[in-house]
Every structure is written in C-alpha cells, then in structure tokens.
A = this chain, B = another copy of it.
Amino acid sequence: MVGYAFMGAAHSQGWRTAGRVFDLPLRPELSVICGRDAQAVQAAADRHGWASAETDWRALIARDDVDLVDICTPGDSHAEIALAALAAGKHVLCEKPLANTVEEAEAMTSAAEAAHARGQIAMVGFNYRRLPATALARRMVAEGRIGTLRHVRLTYLQDWLADPQSPLTWRLRKEQAGSGSLGDLGAHIVDLAQFLAGEQLTGVSALTETFVRRRPLPGAQAGGLSAVAADGTGEVTVDDAALFTGRFPSGALASFEATRYATGRKNALRLELNGERGSLSFDLERLNELWYHDATEPDEHAGFRRILVTEPGHPYLEAWWPPGHGLGYEHTFVHQARDLVHAVAEGRTPEPSFADGLQVQRVLAAVEESAEKNSVFTPIAV
C-alpha cells in the first residue's frame, strides 16, 4: 500500500478484516506500506498491521512479496505509481479519482487493459458502490423494480470549508488535488449515478464557484505551497462547489451538487431515482437504510418504505450481524477488498474498472468545460 493517511487507514481496515468475515479464495497478506517519512511510515505499519515499511514506492513495487499495489496517495501521483505497478506485473487498486487529468486516466486505462491480457487486475476505488444499500439499489434497478427511469438526483454535501478561516490544505490546490469538490465529492456521485442507472451520461451543463479565494496557510505546509502571500494566506485554486445537470441515453434527467459549504451536512451523499414504476432514495448519513416506493401498489397503502439493509439476503450481509445490527463507513473497504480478491482469484476485471474511472474523469472534464463556457451543455467524450 502506498499512502497511510485517512484512506490508508481505511483500506488497511478493509484488508485486515475481509478474510475474517468473508470466505475468500485467497488470503490477503499485508506485506508492506510505503510513505516518504521513514519514522511515520514505520509507525503506520505497526499501527495498521503491515509487516514492513518502505519510503520509496518504487522499492515497494520492486518487491517480490508484493502481488497487489493499493494506491492511497493524492491524485497527482496516481498515474505514475499505477503505470509502474502495472508494468511490474502487479495487480492494482487505485483510489478515486483515477487521476487528475483525462490524459493520465487514458494512459492508465490503456495500461490496465494491456495488463489484463497478462492476467493482471486493476480496479478503481469508488467504495460507495459497495454499501449494502447502494448495492441493493442497483440490484433493484436492474430487476426493473422502478421501471423506465425519469430522474436521478444526487447531492454530496459537506461543510468543512464553510468557515473562511479553515486552512489551505493540499485538497485546495489544483496541482495536487486536480479539482476541489468536483473531484473529491462530485466524482463519487457521478460514479454512483451511472452505476445505479446502468447507463452513462451523454452531456452536462455546469456551474462552479470558489466562494473563499484566499485562506490561511497551515504552518507546517506553508513551505511546500506556491503563491504564499505576505499576509500568511494562500490562494485557493480549486472549486468550492459544483452544480450540474445531465442527460442519460434513456431520456432520464440527472442533477448533481457537490459542496463543502453546506453547514451542518457532514457527509450528506443523498440520492434519489424516480422511475415510472417506483423510486429509490438513500442518504449516506443513514447508510443502513434504503427507501423504496413501489408505484404499482394501490395508492391507499403505498408509501416510501424504509428498508433496513441488514437482512441475510441483502448484498454483503450473508457474512455480518443479525438484522438491525448496522454496518459503518469502513465496511465499504472490507467489501472492496473482498470483491477484489475474488476478481484476482478468478482472473476477471472487477467493476469499477480503470475504464470506468476514465469515463468518470471525462464527465468531470465536461463539467469543467461547461462551467468555463457559460454553462453550455457539453457532450461527454467517448
């Protein structure tokens, strides 16, 4: 694993736990974790249960005891590491967004496809597909339970930038993060929308905005950032919020909103799908619940029902706790590890593939293009 911050900890929990809960065809071993700071990465190895540590990701890739490389770094290093790992014959799991640019994502996808011919597996980490509730929603859409789709509506609302005094971190600098709310939050909801709808957006119309254009620099990081001002502030070079609408081939309309300024909303990835025969609704802040309206029932008794997605027959639930004993955020990473291990054992490309990650990247690029061009409807490159 490369990287040991938030995502590193979450992925580690996934790798450690998957084989303790699910029947896996292979047993994952946590061989080596990599980070630039020797002391810190050794501490992370001890904490998270990795057998050894490296300070250069090239060394990690060179090791024979590494079969799969899990990339948990910021987006600007994804392409380089993934390409090297694939070239070295490793399987790869890459955190989302796949890359910071469409060009990088294209190169990664080509490399992944070539590697697949050699038996290698590559997957991108859109973990929210692997909540029991979203997986159930996808199953129900595929079964035709909501019929012809009319509307797909997603917001991903957080509030950690609402305070203008919140500091300028790498997530607010284009050179590292690629984009702001768009790549961080928007990528998730674009992927989920397409996953749930079972089709890909054909075009988008977008507005983006940066509400607070300068922010205080965090002391420790000030050195590494360009554009440091005399007043101790630095420039925010990514979007704070992105709103966009889109169209699906089926004729369904989609709306998206990603922001870090929705005061009081901590992790409100909310989605709703309305079809001719029914609707589905979900909120990540209540992740064990899926709401379903069956429009084929008599009006007298119809209503949105709260399915507590904790039954044995629900996705991933065969291995967990009794009904009503809810799961949490980190379980998406356990399920991701489980599904990836199965894919490796079976030699098939898992979803979401690098190609899926590339397609999301193209949607994000179209969003940025539309936002620059007065919101004009912008087709998604194919």
Q: Point out residues on A near B: beta carbons under 8 Å.
A: 6, 10, 12-13, 16-17, 20-21, 47-49, 136, 140, 146, 150-151, 153, 155, 157-160, 162-164, 205, 207, 209, 211, 241, 243-245, 247, 251, 253, 255, 257, 259, 261-268, 272, 274-279, 284-288, 291-295, 298-308, 310-314, 321-331, 370, 374-377
Q: CB-CB < 8 A to A321: which residues of B?
A: 6, 10, 329-330
In this complex, what residue of B is CB-closest to A261?
B150
* Chain B: minimal CB distance from A201 (Å): 12
Q: Which of B151, B306, B322, B374 contacts A304 (CB 8 A)?
A: B306
The answer to whether A261 touches B151, judged by C-beta atoms less than 8 angstroms apart, is yes
**A255→B275 contact, CB < 8 A:** no
Q: By CB atoms of chain B within 10 A, which of A13, A151, A259, A287 has the most?
A: A151
Which of B16, B211, B303 is close to A305, meaning CB atoms less than 8 Å apart?
B303
Contacts of A276 in B (CB 8 A): 162-164, 261, 263
CB neighbours of A375 from chain B (8 A): 205, 245, 370, 375-377
Q: Contact between B253 and A277 (Cβ–Cβ < 8 Å)? A: no
Partner of A377, one of B48, B150, B244, B374: B374
Residues of B within 8 A of A12 (CB): 20
Do A20 and B6 touch across chains, with their CB atoms under 8 A apart? no
6 cross-chain pairs, A with B, having the tightest CB-CB distances, nearest first: A267-B324, A266-B324, A264-B293, A305-B305, A328-B328, A205-B375
* 13 A-B pairs (CB sep. < 8 Å): A146-B263, A150-B259, A151-B241, A151-B257, A159-B274, A205-B374, A207-B253, A207-B377, A262-B272, A263-B275, A284-B324, A286-B286, A301-B307
Residue from the list B136, B278, B328, B376 in contact with A374, Cβ < 8 A: B376
A264 engages B279 (CB within 8 Å): yes
**CA–CA, A293 and B327, complex, Å:** 22
Q: Given contacts A324-B267, A324-B285, A376-B375, is CB(A211)–CB(B150) below 8 Å?
A: yes
In the complex where A13-B20, A264-B279, A299-B313 touch, is A151 in contact with B259 (Cβ < 8 A)? yes
Do B329 and A329 touch (CB < 8 A)? no
Using CB atoms, name the residue of chain B closest to A295. B263
- The reply to whether B251 and A264 form a contact with Cβ atoms under 8 Å apart is no
Which of B162, B303, B325 makes the CB contact (< 8 A) with A264? B303
A20 to B284, CA, bound (A): 25
Could you say which of B151, B160, B209 contacts A323, with CB atoms under 8 Å apart? B160
